[in-house]
Amino acid sequence: MISRFTDATAEEINKVMDRSWQAFHVYRKFPLKKRADFMSAIAREMEASADELVHKAMSETNLPEPRLRNEFNRTLFQLRSYGAACEAGDWLEARIDTAIPDRNPPRPDIRKMLVPLGPVVVFGASNFPFAYSTAGGDTACAFAAGCPVVVKAHPAHPQTSEGVARAILKATEKSQMPEGIFGHIHGSGTATGRLLVTHSNTKAVGFTGSFSGGKALFDWANQRKEPIPVFAEMGSINPVFFLPGKLKESAIETAKAYASSITLSSGQFCTNPGLIIGIEGPELQDFITALGNEIKHIVPATMLHPGIAQSFQNNRSAALAQEGVVTVSVSETLPKENQGIPTLASASASAFLNNPLLHQEVFGPYSIVIRCKNKQEMREVATHLEGQLTTTLMATAKDIREHEELVEALKNICGRFILNGVPTGVEVCLSMQHGGPFPATTDSRFTSVGADGIKRFARPLAFQNWPDELLPEELKNANPLQIWRTINNELTKKGIL
Amino acid sequence: MISRFTDATAEEINKVMDRSWQAFHVYRKFPLKKRADFMSAIAREMEASADELVHKAMSETNLPEPRLRNEFNRTLFQLRSYGAACEAGDWLEARIDTAIPDRNPPRPDIRKMLVPLGPVVVFGASNFPFAYSTAGGDTACAFAAGCPVVVKAHPAHPQTSEGVARAILKATEKSQMPEGIFGHIHGSGTATGRLLVTHSNTKAVGFTGSFSGGKALFDWANQRKEPIPVFAEMGSINPVFFLPGKLKESAIETAKAYASSITLSSGQFCTNPGLIIGIEGPELQDFITALGNEIKHIVPATMLHPGIAQSFQNNRSAALAQEGVVTVSVSETLPKENQGIPTLASASASAFLNNPLLHQEVFGPYSIVIRCKNKQEMREVATHLEGQLTTTLMATAKDIREHEELVEALKNICGRFILNGVPTGVEVCLSMQHGGPFPATTDSRFTSVGADGIKRFARPLAFQNWPDELLPEELKNANPLQIWRTINNELTKKGIL
């Protein structure tokens, strides 16, 4: 079986992308319901192999079974709920302006809806072997949009990826989908990724991973003769601003919640709170002490793969060695091989502001508390942060009134703004925004979680002056699919008489 | 007054962009109604100077008065109708998922809406001194989205641009907008544009013009430390496919309509039909003859500026000199200085397929008829075309049934698909798609005409766990703005109890 996981050759990639292109012209014409049924069929096939897939993922990622079961079910939920959203059709943004023949000049009949972009290349994520990999969120969104998918399996969990790919292929057969609707490619280096992204049949890219990986894809995609969109979710440090009133009110119980959020799944979440900002004083000191005490008792866990464990060790050491950085607390349990040791550090705001290295993500069970002299310095930290997936505000109503400028500044740097909670835990629902200003993602106008993510892989097409019988079902007078449409500026499910 | 129009210095640009950034933080918090009122105020101020502005534009662009009056009114309509759309709030994509506290784990309350990106730099278009310049579609969309605007005036109509800028500044004062909400910059070379696009305060770019201009902005924007979106509409050749039944039915009357569409405003529209494709036979020959006869009688008109006239002459000569290209007909009236001579050419499909130069736009009153041997060759032409703003199909119902594959292929290359009409005439309405696959535009997922263009300059922001009193009006339980929102997957105007 090893031979299967050798890097795909350029010839193999050409073949896969050609089949994908052919499948596109078949699949994009399928009714929404058929797309949704196909996605349900994938969920069913995966469910039938649940134990096998979860066990494969356990052995390849070191993630514990409950965490993987949870993620597995989330993946099925994504396939089913994005399929339902696909069929409901709100995402199509159907707009109709009917003709006004007696106007001078006459107004033609124009009807617009979203249509699929073409084959989408998806790069599996190391930290989500199911939910953001082979049949994960990007794949589900692309299928819903009407696009074929070619997945590059993450080299750290190729067996899991193969297993999921087999489930997709079974569903493809049973649902009588065109053969090329799904392709699965292995590749351990950057060459495979580059060939996939620069292939002329590739029309969009989905990626979840590191900044360097995502940025490379983005650059290749933009340097093509025909540039294509890249949706790269590249993680962030997810700053948490603790305001004085809130600290006073609940420093101790908050410390418990944060110790857990920082070290959950060995800190291997892109919404891990890597930066905590507070104003110096006895309350902040109490909080740091309490958080440090919690961190001490967290037992180290094995990280996703040796490469990530090594990176964590290097980045953690580099951060702790910076001028002004104090190690507050580490786990009392010695880490075994490839385990990440839970760590809390602290630094002054001026040390942070003067050192770009401290603004970078340390992917793993690590967080640093930034001590500001006052409100002004806290605002300075806020305005010097880069784009983030999430920002969290820990504050009382009074705190918020007293820090209005800070609150406004924070809205401007993130995709999700949490009040009095933890950033980990990304709900799969329509209101979710998982995406934020660069460098959190390459396109802050879209989300990679929730059914709005379907729109990443579609573009509007307007039909002008087409008779009813030649229009797509979505735009016909009678509204046979019963979708929401904006007709002459009015949102309605009514048909046109 | 001349001194006003010297190129802005880097220092001046820094100052303008800093003021724009400051204004952003004030303007983005303004209620939708205040934005709409401001846009109406701009329309009012422009209207008060209508004659002066139109006369300035006539002298700077050589466009005739009725054409400019028309465009001027279109500009006012854009400002008012996008303002109304801004206030109606459908574009905000408000989504609410309410909390489920007794779920395990509890589901938090999450509410999402679009928020503005930040300062937008708009590059005025040479061919639309009003509708796609200083207070044109991009500017109106940016203001509606909540973004300040900095316009780089087109160097071919700086006086007109100054006049419109003055109207905007008057409206700014009367509406008590922050001073930096609008900036106006002159610059004749590429240096000014580069400084504007690469300035760290610039968060998006709107452009209408040439491929080389748009592509340069796109590349600069993507090479920034923080890449930003560029919406460049770079024109296209707008292919028109004449199917055999339709040619037989109405070759002669269609010729009249097409002669007019090709030469309207001296062919200076980005939706000008620059390529006509038909299958060889007596009907096509009749059509070519009829179209040629019409073109003969069209009187040349002065082009926008000497540079464009010179480009037209060069590109036209180059196209006509290609192997296999025949000049079918030119205007019988000799052109005066800076006039574009209406021209119809013809070539075989094989000559066209083998020569990339013939796929390029000849901006001006020019079109070429491509003669295909048969249906297969016509399809080959279709699949070799690059992305287009529009594609037009001239066909009977029977033609369409007999050319299903061609019709499907055409859907895939354009933003607007017209049946039995002409591509010129871009209606300002919600269903309009003015944008298409690259190289027609740099982002096929958005439109630059119609209120959906507002979404170019916004991104989603999700609020998690915020109490009602701290949420923006748009997301409050009671729905005080009475906008459409998707609450727990149901589209409604209802409030939350």
Torsion of CA B486, B487, B488, B492, to 10 degrees: -70
Residue A351 scores a pLDDT above 90: yes
What is the average pLDDT across A312-322? 97
pLDDT band at A451 (very low <50, low <70, confident <90, very high): very high
What element of type H or E holds A313? helix A306-320
Pairing of strands A230-233, A204-208: parallel
| Sequence-separated (6 or more) residues with CB below 8 Å from residue B102 | none
B305: helix, strand or coil: coil
Catalytic residue among B233, B283, B361, B377: B233
Determine contact, residues A453/A435, Cβ cutoff 8 Å. Answer: no
B416 near A CB under 8 A: yes
Identify whether A105 is preceded by a cis peptide bond (ω within 30 of 0). yes
Question: Smallest Cβ distance to A95: which of B397, B414, B430?
Answer: B430
Q: Per-residue pLDDT for B3 more than 50?
A: no
C-beta of residue B98 within 8 angstroms of C-beta of residue B486: no
CB B460 within 8 A of CB A415: yes
pLDDT at residue A4, rounded to an integer: 56
Question: A234 contacts in B (CB within 8 Å)?
Answer: none
A336 — phi, psi (to 5°)? -85, -175
CA distance B188 to B4: 12
Q: How confident is the model at residue B4 (pLDDT cuts 50, 70, 90)?
A: low
Q: Are A98 and B427 in contact (CB under 8 A)?
A: no
Q: Exposed, middle or buried: residue B22 (CB in 10 Å: 0-12, 13-18, 19+)?
A: middle
For A187-212, write each residue's pLDDT tens digit: 988 999 999 999 999 999 999 999 99
For residues A340 and A395, the answer to whether their CB atoms sit within 8 Å is: no
Task: Please tell me whether residue A280 adopts helix, strand or coil conformation.
Answer: coil
Q: Does A470 touch chain B (CB under 8 A)?
A: yes
Give A253-257 contacts, CB < 8 A, sequence gap 24+. A254/A287, A254/A394, A255/A287, A255/A290, A255/A291, A255/A293, A255/A294, A256/A290, A256/A294, A257/A422
- Report pLDDT digits (tens) over B291-333: 999 999 999 999 999 999 999 999 999 999 999 999 999 999 9
Contact criterion met (CB below 8 Å) for A27 and A178: yes
- In angstroms, what separates the C-alpha of A102 from chain B's closest C-alpha? 15
Determine how many CB atoms are found less than 10 A away from the CB of residue B189.
9
Give A331-362 as a DSSP string: -SSPP-TTEEPPEEEEEEHHHHHT-GGGGS--
B68-78 pLDDT, tens digit per residue, is: 999 999 999 99
| Amino acid letter, residue A436 | G
Q: What's the pLDDT at B325?
A: 98
| Planar angle of CA B129, B90, B451, nearest 5 degrees | 15
Show contacts of A485-491: CB within 8 Å, 24+ apart: A485/A94, A485/A95, A485/A96, A486/A94, A486/A95, A486/A96, A486/B90, A486/B430, A486/B431, A487/A95, A487/A96, A487/A97, A487/A98, A488/A96, A488/A97, A488/A98, A489/A97, A489/B88, A489/B430, A491/B90, A491/B484, A491/B491
DSSP letter at A393 equals E
B414 noted as active-site residue: no
SS3 (DSSP) at A161: helix
Say whether B419 and A466 touch across the interface (CB within 8 A).
yes
d(CA B164, CA A173): 61
Collapsed DSSP state (helix, strand, coil) of residue B406:
helix
* DSSP-derived 3-state class of residue A239: strand
DSSP secondary-structure letter at A107?
B
pLDDT at B457 over 60: yes
Two tokens at B267?
């062919």
DSSP-derived letter for residue B97 is E
User: What angle do the packed helices A190-198 and A211-223 form, to 10 degrees?
Assistant: 40
Averaged pLDDT, A151-157: 96
Q: Residue A285 has what pLDDT? A: 96
Residue ranges of domains in chain A: 2-234+444-458, 239-419
Closest Cβ opposite residue A425 in set B97, B105, B444: B105
Burial class (CB in 10 A: 0-12, 13-18, 19+), A128: buried
CA dist list (Å): B377 to A67, A417, B360, B384, B399 = 56, 55, 20, 11, 16
Q: Which helix (H) or strand (E) holds B316?
A: helix B306-320
Output the six-digit token pair for A116.
């699929």
Task: Collect all residues of chain B within an 8 Å Cβ-Cβ radius of residue A117.
Answer: 444
Q: pLDDT digit string (tens) for B347-372?
A: 999 999 999 999 999 999 999 999 99
Measure CA A68 to chain center. Answer: 17
Report A:72-91 residues touching B (Cβ under 8 A): 88, 90
Compute the mean pLDDT over every residue in chain A, rounded to the nearest whole number: 96
Please report the pLDDT score of residue B5 as a whole number: 75
DSSP symbols for B160-218: HHHHHHHHHHHHHHHTT--GGGEEEE--SSHHHHHHHHH-TT--EEEEES-HHHHHHHH
- pLDDT given at position B252: 86
- Burial-class residue B253 by CB neighbours within 10 Å (0-12, 13-18, 19+): exposed
In chain A, the residue whose alpha carbon lies closest to the alpha carbon of B398 is: A470
Does position B441 have pLDDT exceeding 60, yes or no? yes
Question: Of B10, B331, B48, which Cα lies nearest the Cα of B163?
Answer: B48
- Contact list in A for residue B421 (CB cut-off 8 A) is 108, 464-465
Q: Is A316 on the interface with B (CB under 8 A)?
A: no
Interface contact flag, B415 A96, Cβ < 8 Å: no
Q: What is the pLDDT of residue B2?
A: 40
Q: What is the ipTM of this complex?
A: 0.97
Phi-psi domain of A104 (left: phi exceeds 0; alpha: psi -120 through 50; beta: other): beta
Contacts of A145 in chain B (CB under 8 A): none
Helices B32-48 and B50-61 sit at what angle, rounded to 10 degrees?
Answer: 70
Model confidence, pTM: 0.97
Q: Does a cis peptide bond (omega within 30 degrees of 0) precede residue B300?
A: no
Q: Which two tokens stand for residue B282?
A: 């007596």
Q: Which CATH number fits domain B239-419: 3.40.50.1110, 3.10.20.30, 3.40.309.10, 3.40.50.300?
A: 3.40.309.10
**Within 10 A of A166 (CB to CB), how many other CB atoms are there?**
17
> Model confidence over B264-275: pLDDT tens digits?
999 999 999 999
Residue with tokens 């305060």, as numbered in its chain: B201
Residues of A in contact with B465 (CB under 8 A): 418-421
The mean pLDDT value for A65-76 works out to 97
Distance, CA of A55 to CA of A386 (rounded, Å): 38
B467 close contact with A: CB closer than 8 A: yes
DSSP code for B125: P
Q: What is the pLDDT of residue B209?
A: 94
- The verdict on a CB contact (< 8 Å) between B427 and A489 is no
Q: Domain A2-234+444-458 is classified in which CATH homologous superfamily?
A: Aldehyde Dehydrogenase; Chain A, domain 1 (3.40.605.10)
Mean pLDDT of B134-141: 98
> pLDDT exceeding 70 applies to what percent of chain A?
99
Best mutation target, A398, A431, A438, A485, to test chain B (most B CBs within 10 A):
A431
Q: What is the pLDDT of residues A85-102, one digit of tens each?
A: 999 999 999 999 999 999
Q: What radius of gyration do chain A's Cα atoms show? A: 24
Report the pLDDT averaged over residues A404-431. Answer: 96
Q: Work out the pLDDT band at A253, boundaries 50, 70, 90.
A: confident
* Confidence at A236, pLDDT banded by 50, 70, 90: very high
DSSP A456: G
The Cα B29–Cα A408 span in angstroms is 9
